[in-house]
Amino acid sequence: MKAEASAPPSDGKSAMLMDINERVLIKEGVRDDGVSRLKEIWSIIDNCSGGSAQDDAKFWKNSLDTLKGDLQSREILVGILGETGLGKSSLLNALLGVQLVPTNQSEACTAAVCIYGWSTETDEQKRFSAKITFKSWECVAEELNVLKAEIKNRFEDMDDESFGEEEDNAFIQQLVGPTKQWSNLDLDEIRQKSADEIIENSDTVFRDIFRNGKKRLSSNTRICYSSSANKFQQMLKPYVDSSKPTKKSPSRYWPLVHEVEIFVKSEILRNGIKLVDLPGSHDAMEVRGQMAQRFAARLDKRIVVTPAARAADNKAAAEFILTKEETLGLDMDGMLNCDALCVAITKIDDIETSNAEEEFPAEDVSKVCKALRQLQEGNDHDEEDLGSPSSLPLKRPHNESDRTRPFKRRKMEETELCDIKEMNEDSLLSHLKYLCIKARNVDLIQKVSQCLLKTTARKGKFNQSTNRPLSTVFPVSSKAFQALMRENRTRDSEGFPTLESTGIPGLREWLRQVSLPYREEWADSDMNRIQVLLDAADGWVQDANATLPVLTKSEIPGVEHFISNITDELKTASILSQPHAINNKVRIRIQQNLTGMKPLRDSNLKAGNRGLKSKKGRAETAMAFNSIEKAVKNFKFKNCHAGSSSSTASRYNYLHWATYKANVRRQGNQFTRRARKGQPRSSTFWMGDIGHAFWLGHESKWKHEFAHRLPLLRRKIRPTALLAFEAWSKELHDSQEIPMVYHDLVRANAYKLHNLLEEYIGKVRDRFQQLMDEFRECKMSVLKKLTSRMHLCFENAINEHGKGIMAKQARVLEGYVASEGEKMINSVRNEVEDAMAKKISQFSRDVGNLWGPGKADTGYGALIKNELLRLSLRLQGKQSKQTRGRAISEECKLRLSAIINDWRKTWKEISARLPLEVTVEPMESQDEDDGEQKVKMEEEPKTCKLHETVGMVKTEPEA
């Protein structure tokens, strides 16, 4: 790749837009103006005599509606991640600038996935609105079956262990509590009834969610809105708040809620950012933690929340900021970088300053401490003179009112460098806290960065080729920010002289910065679509001005024949026989590069290649097998993540046999062991460890494709299409078969054809991004496939009984992995590769159908052909049958021309200031002969849609 640049002009109005901040704002302004003008054009056309009867008027209006809908549907999903109780909800309230998210110090509050987006409502009564989507009947029934199985397992766990029955019963009640809230059943009834009976037993659920008990015919969504934030929060509580019911809000529907979309006019959400509040990943209710993990795969950016006390502890930070599975997954997808990952260190206001000089030995801290001691000694003497005991605790001065003291303190803190001798005791204490927080923040940022580097430095595989930080770190205080925003200084804001010192504005700015590349790409795509619609409207005006020369009768058939031939090249020509074909050039080039991927081993996804090269992948298989075998052996130990070995482990390192059995009973799925005997609550996820071990053998291949190759391939779509289009345009303009007058008219309108091509490129790139998301779903399916294959193994282990049960069950698990492990790895890998190959085939079909084969008149090939035919009709002095005799009035033509030309002039001035794009080479062909034989686009006679004939991908034999 080569970067091209030019020197910016000297005057400000025509200066080059090198800064992405300024560039995006200007592009979005021109885009919004363009949409407004399109609305005005349709208003003119719709009210003008003969206007709405113009060719393609209905299609034009539908395209405008689609564009307006897309402007409101764009999203950048930013997840707020972390354990329950770390301040996620408070942080979200601070980012939004309004108190909407429920907070609770003692228990989890956010129980459903909540997505906060920009509100387009203009009605003040709907200032805050929400769309609540409930789970389906089948989903609720499935979760109830999982709950019933877990309750059964818990009681069996109690039979295995001879202590803590009371605590275990309490834990079971905690598990079943949410279901009791909405079903009105007790524990015994829930255990005895089937899932359907539990749902049917709840009149409230039937009435409010599953209408009249019609199961699958139920209403699945609910809309609520309010003009008051407080009232709106109360309305949402039953659906998102898992805290205990109250008299005011006795019903709790949150276990039945799939997700809640909340719309609010918060400036941070204006341009596509959507903040996602996920249930705590280490929640006491395992179903909430699993919900968070599933949704996390959809996120574009992540804000990981960790409190200051934990971030200061290296061991805790390394474990809880990102788990080893999360770190590996992000790195494989190319998302372990400061543009996609941010760490928010919360509760930085929770700091003790009594030992400030020892903990933060800085000169400014020492000066403040010295001034405080001198002031305290003076106060002690004054109190002795008044006969007061000198041992009284330090008191606040009484000579200032509550109003004047905060004002004076704020004035002095904002200058920071003011003479500390002039400060009173309140100001000194607050300034000392500020200095301590500031010093600790530096230390926290360094520690968190080091922890992330250590986590990702396993075997030197991560990020060794770049000096960029792995994440951006922001120490924040949500309480102080909200207090300062209210302009009501309280104890919460002490130590924070300005809003910037709370860290929230910095975090908001990070969100804005990481959104800019998305917004610029959206604006560019929208601009192309606006130009296409303006071109179409301009065509209606031009058709009404029939002042051009007229083709002779002998010239007309030749022109029509030429148009048919030249546009057929665009659509159906083979990439080998017709090098100028655009759609085939793009579609087949992309497919060849996609099927040439090697995401899991040194063998690509092309049809038949894996069968012919079955020996490929042995190295990856061996590495994954060794990792899985080690993981299963380590299940016996308490700290299996540390890789304890039987040769060095003492008997104190082994799990209790009942805990091992409990994990086996759950078939390796997540198991939370309650706190007991002074030990904290712990959680194990054996199948998660096996899934992690599988990817240890395949990470480098996947990362190469998804972090490097696929993003570059997406960027190459445009130059590949432009190269083919330029070749086709050259043939069009160089043709000697058509009259010169038609040549001149086509050249004058060539920009319209180019605008259509740019819109087509945008659609292909959008579909490619969707394909990348589908590939990640294939990656996520690995755990489910491994769980299915380990099912029989766990069933056999459950059947073991008697003395030494843990050793017996371990032998079953380890024996299965030893004998079937490689076969399991190969079969899972084959299924993932098959799924990816099918996704590629569907992608190729969708791209082919974008061009509009056969009789379809909405594809881009058809639109280009129609434009060329329209130009020929102008030279024939003809109008279509639809518009003949119903011409646009002269007044309407003048108004339309003024709107179109004015916007074009504005955009021309702006586009001249845009920097030249980084040159990206077009996609290269990979085995074109072979690829052309395997990929064939055929047209269905009835639907006129393309379907693709592709050789089936052969699966590597499992034996």
Domain locations in the chain?
74-346
Within 8 A by CB and 6+ apart from 673, the residues are 659, 662, 681, 682, 683, 684
Nearest to 205 by CA among 259, 258, 151, 252: 252
Using 50, 70 and 90 to split pLDDT, how confident is the model at 947?
very low
Within 8 A by CB and 6+ apart from 322, the residues are 304, 330, 452, 455
pLDDT of 630: 95
Within 8 A by CB and 6+ apart from 469, the residues are 337, 338, 449
CA distance 8 to 16: 5
How many other C-beta atoms can be found within 10 angstroms of the C-beta atom of residue 250?
10
Strands 301-307 and 935-939: unpaired
CA distance 610 to 830: 9
- Kind and range of the H or E run holding 183: helix 165-183
CA distance 297 to 776: 8
CA distance 53 to 240: 51
Nearest to 68 by CA among 45, 37, 46, 27: 37
Tell me how far CA of residue 500 lies from CA of 302, 324, 433, 474, 496, in angstroms: 22, 33, 16, 11, 8
Domain 74-346 CATH (choose: 3.30.230, 1.10.1740, 3.30.70, 3.40.50): 3.40.50
CA distance 812 to 735: 76
Strands 341-346 and 273-277: unpaired
Cβ pair 428, 365 in contact under 8 A: no
- Rg value, the chain, Cα: 33
CA distance 618 to 314: 38
Sole residue written with tokens 């002031």: 375
CA distance 22 to 482: 29
Nearest to 517 by CA among 272, 718, 756, 335: 272
pLDDT of 942: 44
Nearest to 935 by CA among 866, 830, 842, 864: 842
Percent of the chain past pLDDT 90, that is, above it, reads 36
CA distance 101 to 99: 6
Using 50, 70 and 90 to split pLDDT, how confident is the model at 644?
very low
Within 8 A by CB and 6+ apart from 695, the residues are 328, 329, 332, 624, 702, 782
Three-state secondary structure readout of 417-478 = CCCHHHCCHHHHHHHHHHHHHHHHHHHHHHHHHHHHHHHCCHHHCCCCCCCCCCCEEEECCH
How many other C-beta atoms can be found within 10 angstroms of the C-beta atom of residue 193?
17
Using 50, 70 and 90 to split pLDDT, how confident is the model at 174?
confident
Cβ pair 374, 382 in contact under 8 A: no
Residue 215, pLDDT > 60, answer no
Residue 257, pLDDT > 50, answer yes
Within 8 A by CB and 6+ apart from 513, the residues are none
Cβ pair 948, 935 in contact under 8 A: yes
Residue 134: strand pairing partners: 257
Within 8 A by CB and 6+ apart from 871, the residues are 742, 745, 746, 749
Mean predicted confidence (pLDDT) in 624-645: 80
How many other C-beta atoms can be found within 10 angstroms of the C-beta atom of residue 13?
7
- The dihedrals phi and psi of 936, each to the nearest 5 degrees, come to -135, 125
Residue 618, pLDDT > 90, answer no
Nearest to 246 by CA among 235, 254, 238, 256: 238
Residue 587, pLDDT > 50, answer yes
> On the CB side of 474, how many CA atoms lie within 13 Å of its CA?
26
Tell me how far CA of residue 859 lies from CA of 491, 751, 767, in angstroms: 64, 18, 15
pLDDT of 299: 92
Residue 378, pLDDT > 70, answer no
pLDDT of 933: 40
Using 50, 70 and 90 to split pLDDT, how confident is the model at 8?
very low
pLDDT of 251: 61
Average per-residue pLDDT in the chain?
A: 79
Residue-wise pLDDT for 808-834, tens only, equals 999 999 999 999 999 999 999 999 999
Within 8 A by CB and 6+ apart from 144, the residues are 179, 195, 198, 199
Please give the full DSSP string across 799-848, using - where no structure is assigned: T--STTHHHHHHHHHHHHHHHHHHHHHHHHHHHHHHHHHHHHHHHHHHHH
- The dihedrals phi and psi of 922, each to the nearest 5 degrees, come to -65, 165
Q: What are the structure tokens assigned to 396, written together?
A: 């606040």
**DSSP tag of 387:** T
Nearest to 833 by CA among 603, 638, 670: 603
Residue-wise pLDDT for 475-515, tens only, equals 999 999 998 988 766 777 888 999 999 999 999 999 999 99
Residue-wise pLDDT for 37-84, tens only, equals 999 999 998 887 655 555 568 888 988 999 999 999 999 999 998 877
Residue-wise pLDDT for 682-704, tens only, equals 788 999 999 999 999 999 999 99
Tell me how far CA of residue 931 lies from CA of 568, 608, 664, 940, in angstroms: 21, 12, 48, 22
Sole residue written with tokens 């919460």: 492
Helices of type H across 97-162: 137-160
Tell me how far CA of residue 442 lies from CA of 311, 473, 509, in angstroms: 12, 10, 19
CA distance 31 to 903: 10
- Kind and range of the H or E run holding 407: helix 404-415
pLDDT greater at residue 681 or residue 185: 185
CA distance 447 to 317: 8
**DSSP tag of 654:** B
pLDDT of 585: 83
Cβ pair 413, 434 in contact under 8 A: yes
Q: What are the structure tokens assigned to 705, written together?
A: 């494709």
Cβ pair 602, 616 in contact under 8 A: yes
Residue 413, pLDDT > 70, answer no
- The dihedrals phi and psi of 254, each to the nearest 5 degrees, come to -60, -30
Cβ pair 302, 540 in contact under 8 A: no
Mean predicted confidence (pLDDT) in 262-272: 94
Nearest to 53 by CA among 883, 884, 893: 883
pLDDT greater at residue 285 or residue 396: 285
Residue-wise pLDDT for 318-355, tens only, equals 556 788 888 888 899 989 899 999 999 999 998 888 88
CA distance 688 to 676: 24
Residue 392, pLDDT > 80, answer no
Percent of the chain past pLDDT 70, that is, above it, reads 74
Cβ pair 168, 246 in contact under 8 A: no
User: Model-level pTM?
Assistant: 0.84
pLDDT greater at residue 555 or residue 676: 555
Residue 744, pLDDT > 90, answer no
pLDDT greater at residue 430 or residue 932: 430
Tell me which amino acid residue 419 is: D
pLDDT greater at residue 405 or residue 263: 263
pLDDT of 811: 96
Q: What are the structure tokens assigned to 469, written together?
A: 């930080």
Nearest to 861 by CA among 580, 469, 568: 568
Neighbour-count burial of 3, counting CB atoms closer than 10 A to its CB (0-12 exposed, 13-18 middle, 19+ buried)? exposed
Residue 115: strand pairing partners: 261, 276
